[in-house]
């Protein structure tokens, strides 16, 4: 399924990048999608480049910290974490945290795992699991 999606997403990125009239939100959405696709394919360099481009577009849209930028940074932290670069993931995580954009709950990926791996959050071992809100 990923193989079938890849050319479609790559073509969407090319179209939005080539069109000055393309809405910025569509540009960042397709870049992030392509980055996530590459991440699933274990292509960290390509994934990182596309997610970083999506972050740049989001920051241009909303120069102040925004939930969208925080979500994209969370994606980039995941790419870094998957690649084993916990130090850079931690640096990026700490720089991106603001009162307006706190980390997701500790079970969230990857903010909680990065902070926990550095000893900044207590371990979840032995703690009861949260019940799902879905019934």
Confidence of residue 112 (pLDDT cuts 50, 70, 90): low
CA distance 127 to 37: 33
For range 11-30, the mean pLDDT: 90
Backbone φ and ψ of 123, nearest 5°: -65, 150
| Number of Cα atoms under 13 Å in the Cβ half of residue 5 | 11
Main-chain phi, psi angles of 122, to 5 degrees: -65, 150
For residue range 47-89, list pLDDT tens digits in order.
999 999 999 988 888 877 677 888 888 889 989 988 888 888 8
Domain 2-117 has CATH 1.25.40.10: yes
The string of DSSP codes covering 36-78 is HHHHHTT-HHHHHHHHHHHHHHHHHH-SS--HHHHHHHHHHHH
CA distance 114 to 15: 35
pLDDT tier for residue 12 given thresholds of 50, 70 and 90: very high
The verdict on pTM exceeding 0.85 is no
Q: Which residues contact 29 (CB under 8 A, 6 or more apart)?
A: 54
pLDDT value at position 100? 57
Higher confidence at residue 64 or residue 113?
64
User: How deeply is 88 buried, as exposed, middle or buried, from its count of CB atoms within 10 A (0-12, 13-18, 19+)?
Assistant: middle
Where along the chain do its domains lie?
2-117
């Amino acid at each position: 399924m990923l193989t079938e999606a890849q050319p479609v997403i790559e073509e969407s990125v090319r179209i939005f990048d080539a069109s000055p009239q393309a809405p910025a939100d569509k540009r960042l959405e397709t870049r992030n999608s392509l980055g996530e696709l590459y991440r699933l394919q274990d292509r960290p360099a390509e994934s990182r480049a596309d997610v970083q481009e999506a972050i740049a577009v989001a920051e241009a849209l909303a120069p102040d910290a925004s939930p969208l930028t925080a979500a994209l940074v969370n994606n980039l932290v995941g790419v870094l974490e998957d690649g084993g670069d916990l130090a850079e993931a931690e640096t990026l995580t700490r720089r991106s945290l603001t009162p307006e954009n706190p980390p997701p709950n500790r079970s969230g990926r990857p903010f909680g795992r990065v902070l926990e791996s550095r000893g900044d959050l207590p371990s979840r071992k032995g703690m009861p699991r949260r019940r799902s809100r879905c019934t």
